[in-house]
Structure 1
Amino acid sequence: MSTRERILEVAANLVAESEDGDVSTRAVCEAAQVGAPALYRHFGDKQGLLSAVVDHGFDKYLATKRQREATADPVDDLCDGWDSHVDFALRNPNLYRLMNSPAMRTPPAAALESHQILTRDLERAAAQGKLRLAPELAAQMVMSANVGVALMLVARPATFADRGMSRRVRDAVHAAVFTPDVTESRAESFAQEAGTAGRDEVQLPATAARLSAMLAQAPPSALTDAEAALMGEWLDRLSR
């Protein structure tokens, strides 16, 4: 293993093990058993090192995307791409926060490649008449929402504890970028897979959400506090 590779591996491990995802160049040099001049010679400065760490870690994730063979349905590929993006963030929280940190002066090469892969899938969807706006704009919308959801799940797990939230945001964004026939078809397919039956099943979450809001605004006097809390919990579950 070269000196550069050893420094990179050590820095990546320290980032993953750190409480806040930050590391000092001194700690990296000590762990890699190299002097500071060697680190700066290979990476320029701390930001250069961290950018290399991000590319090194995210490259493993992108390897699966590079090898993936496109299916006949780009919409399916885009859904899988969204889900795998979120899964990667949850498995590598420090690396993911670092990748999207405002402190990074230039976007890591891995982030740019990920965006290019997304755009290519959207271009395929456009060629099939499934996109309602330009692929470049759709890519910006999808990527910003995907990154936002992933960051919230990673940074605020107590608030964003429901993994299903990611799918809901994904479907909402897809409804904005794909033609109505695509989103309607996927909604029907999802309903069939989930075993739902008809319009009443679809309206249940909306009805529960409305009742929950009404209960919060004006708790029925006929209910005790405990009963109202229990009903609120049931309605919250149904609305989700």
Structure 2
Amino acid sequence: MPGDAMTTQDDVRARVVGAAARLLNEHGAGALTTRGVAQAAGVQAPTIYRLFGDKDGLVEAVAEHVMATYVAAKRAAVADTDLDPVTDLRAGWRLHVEFGLANPGLYALISNAAGRREPSAATVAGIEVLRARVHRLAAAGLLRVDEARALDMIHAAGTGTVLALLEKPVAERDLGLVDALFDAVAGHLLSSDPVPEADDRLTTAIVTLAALAPDLPGLSGAERRLLGEWLDRALAAVGD
């Protein structure tokens, strides 16, 4: 019956993804070959191509499987508006590092460090969660740079932290770097001086208004876009 065939295909897909995840966890990224996964899952290699298209498709499926709970937890934290946005960002940073250290093979495959031409779907999903966190900081008037710059810096620093720690044997890892590097990045990006310099005050005001502009009442879409262009121009002028 069609329903039985679909269930069988879903079962095979789940078995292949599970086998690939185990290989990654036990033997690292080098073990994730089509032949190795097929053998571990008890299927023929063409089955993997039929279900996933290619190795990248399989990696995406494994990443989705392993990261489902992780990404859901990050999104839940963003949705909790009672959290202080800086505390929320620190919690997300720690969770990101913990996931990378717990899943080194998968992290290497989904990061750009693995030589991918495009970021993985899992990476894109994580960046969108980070984007929401950064927007909360901007809306609270805490950013000293624009949102795009803050997003890029935090993402790059978080990825670098994981990769730097993974380069060392477990016993030699200095986990104090996790909070130390967060504090260094946050100190550059976040406004903490109660009486900042004039340029800092102006930058913070522009960034905050840019974050709130899409929700300003009484403006048309065209007017909001124009305001965004003006604010971008003003921010560039302050930075010169």
Q: Which TM-score applies when normalising by structure 2?
A: 0.70
Matches for 1:52-91 after TM superposition, within 5 Å: 52-68=61-77, 69-91=80-102
Distance 2:103 2:162 in 1: 11
Deviation at 1:121, TM superposition (A): 1.1
Deviation at 1:130, TM superposition (A): 0.6
Q: Residues 82, 27 of structure 1: CA spacing in aligned structure 2 closer, same or farther, 3 A cutoff?
A: same
| Residues 1:23 and 2:32 aligned together | yes
Q: More helix per residue: 1 or 2?
A: 2
Which string of whole-angstrom CA distances, capped at 9 and with x for unpartnered residues, describes residues 172-219 of structure 1? 10011101338xxxxxxxxxxxxxxxxxxxxxxxxxxxxxxxxxxxxx
Deviation at 1:15, TM superposition (A): 1.0
| Residues 1:99 and 2:99 aligned together | no
AA of the residue aligned to 2:167: A
Q: Residues 126, 148 of structure 1: CA spacing in aligned structure 2 closer, same or farther, 3 A cutoff?
A: same
Deviation at 1:52, TM superposition (A): 2.3
Identity among equivalent pairs (%): 38
Q: Structure 1 unaligned segments of length 5 or more: list them.
A: 183-240
Q: How many residues align?
A: 183
Aligned to 2:227: none
Q: Residue 185 of structure 2: SS of its match in structure 1?
A: helix
| Residues 1:121 and 2:130 aligned together | no
| Residues 1:165 and 2:203 aligned together | no
Q: Residue 14 of structure 2: SS of its match in structure 1?
A: helix
AA of the residue aligned to 1:15: L
Aligned to 2:160: 148
- Contact residue 60 and residue 122 of structure 2 kept, 8 A: no
Q: Residues 96, 12 of structure 1: CA spacing in aligned structure 2 closer, same or farther, 3 A cutoff?
A: same
Q: Residues 153, 169 of structure 1: CA spacing in aligned structure 2 closer, same or farther, 3 A cutoff?
A: same
Distance 1:70 1:91 in 2: 28
Which string of whole-angstrom CA distances, capped at 9 and with x for unpartnered residues, describes residues 115-135 of structure 1? 111111111111111111111
Q: Residue 181 of structure 1: SS of its match in structure 2?
A: coil
- Contact residue 152 and residue 160 of structure 1 kept, 8 A: no
Q: Considering only aligned residues, what root-mean-square deviation do their CA atoms show, in Å?
A: 2.1
Distance 1:50 1:22 in 2: 12
Distance 2:114 2:36 in 1: 23
Q: 1:38 is matched with which residue: 4, 22, 47?
A: 47
- Contact residue 93 and residue 182 of structure 2 kept, 8 A: yes
Q: Residues 21, 77 of structure 1: CA spacing in aligned structure 2 closer, same or farther, 3 A cutoff?
A: farther
| Bigger radius of gyration | 1
Distance 2:89 2:110 in 1: 21
Deviation at 1:22, TM superposition (A): 3.4
